Amino acid sequence: MSTKQITPVTAGFESLKQTNEHNAEYWRARDLQPLLGYAQWRRFEQAVERAMTSCDASGNQAAHHFAGAGKPIVGGKGAVQVVDDYHLSRFACYLIAQNGDPRKPEIAHAQQYFAIQTRRQELSDQAVADVERLGLRKQTAEEFKALSGAAQDAGVQSKMFGVFHDAGYKGLYGGLGRDAIKQRKTIADKDNLLDRMNATELAANQFRMTQTRDKLARGVNSQSQAIQTHEQVGKEVRDAIKRIGGTLPENIPPAEHIKEVEKRIKTATPKLTLDDRDANGLLGGKTKS
């Protein structure tokens, strides 16, 4: 994903922070809505409602993290309309990201952003790694589709898509195509290779795809040139890994199937033990009733 997509979540989120009368930080749901990629308030409010349920299930009181509030909107001729809104604690914002539409790149980036925040005190290292890997896998799936579209625009025929995508693997994996990689790593034929990659390997392949897509868009207009471009970009990413002393992708062991990771995330209902101030959420340092 491009930096332009990532920046609004990482930097924009903190810029929207406000402070209430309890000296507690909070965010307005209406401000957060576009940042997380929602055009319709109705859809976003559904994510908020799911997050409130998740808050109670995590052992924390939703009332301390979600507060109903009205927001005045100035319409035509200066008319003022008060629309529904919420004041949200940081923990509430995290839960909304976790309960948002994962197909939205803004949600995927928000999930990664919160995954590295120390507020997730009681989630295990494994859980954090699971969330990161699942997010990367979903982003890579979207990038694969986008790259296929770019290849088609560059002149690659549908019957040659397999050859085109294999060229990228061969460049990145030192001459090994998809099937050879599976054989080397003892991955079952029925498994999607991307489903068995860990976060590091997924990130390398995602970078290969984004760079190839951008390069194809800069004037590649023949099938043979597109295939050569994909392999060359793969080689350049491989050379970069070598220069920084990273593990070459063919030497990274196969990871647990992504479906098992997804299942573990969906079934887990961790009790998030927050410190007193965070547990109070919008009440700040005020003693809980």
State both tokens at 163.
């050859």
More confident residue, 61 or 246: 246
DSSP 154: T
pLDDT tens across 235-264, in order? 999 999 999 999 999 999 999 999 999 988
pLDDT of the residue at 115? 64
Nearest CA among 89, 90, 110 for reference residue 100: 110
Q: Where are the domains of the chain?
A: 3-123+272-283, 132-265
Q: What percentage of the chain has pLDDT greater than the value 70?
A: 83
For the stretch 186-191, contacts whose Cβ atoms lie closer than 8 Å and that sit 24 or more positions apart, written own/partner, are 186/254, 187/254, 191/257
**Pairwise CA distance, residues 179 & 162, whole Å:** 11
pLDDT of the residue at 119? 44
Name the average pLDDT for the chain.
85
Radius of gyration of the chain (CA): 22
pLDDT of the residue at 130? 85
State both tokens at 121.
């005190």
Tracing tokens 């909107």 back to the chain, one arrives at 73
pLDDT tens across 163-198, in order? 999 999 999 999 999 999 999 999 999 999 999 999
pLDDT of the residue at 269? 54
The answer to which of 193-202, 225-234, 269-278 has the lowest mean pLDDT is 269-278
- 28-51 average pLDDT score: 92
Does position 120 have pLDDT exceeding 50, yes or no?
no
pLDDT of the residue at 57? 82
Model confidence at 232, pLDDT cuts 50, 70, 90, reads very high
Model confidence at 13, pLDDT cuts 50, 70, 90, reads confident
Looking from the CA of 43 toward its CB, the CA atoms found within 13 Å total 10
Does position 277 have pLDDT exceeding 50, yes or no?
yes
β-strands 80-88, 18-19: how paired?
Answer: unpaired
pLDDT of the residue at 289? 44
CB 100 within 8 A of CB 47: yes
- Which are the contacts of 154, defined by CB distance < 8 A and separation ≥ 6? 216, 220, 221, 222, 223, 225, 226
CA angle (57, 58, 59) in 5-degree steps: 90
- 156-167 average pLDDT score: 97
CB 133 within 8 A of CB 199: yes
**Pairwise CA distance, residues 44 & 267, whole Å:** 23
CB 20 within 8 A of CB 26: yes
pLDDT of the residue at 121? 47
CB 210 within 8 A of CB 243: no
Concatenate the DSSP letters of all residues of 166-189 into one string. Answer: HHHHHHHTTT--HHHHHHHHT--T
CA angle (153, 159, 160) in 5-degree steps: 65
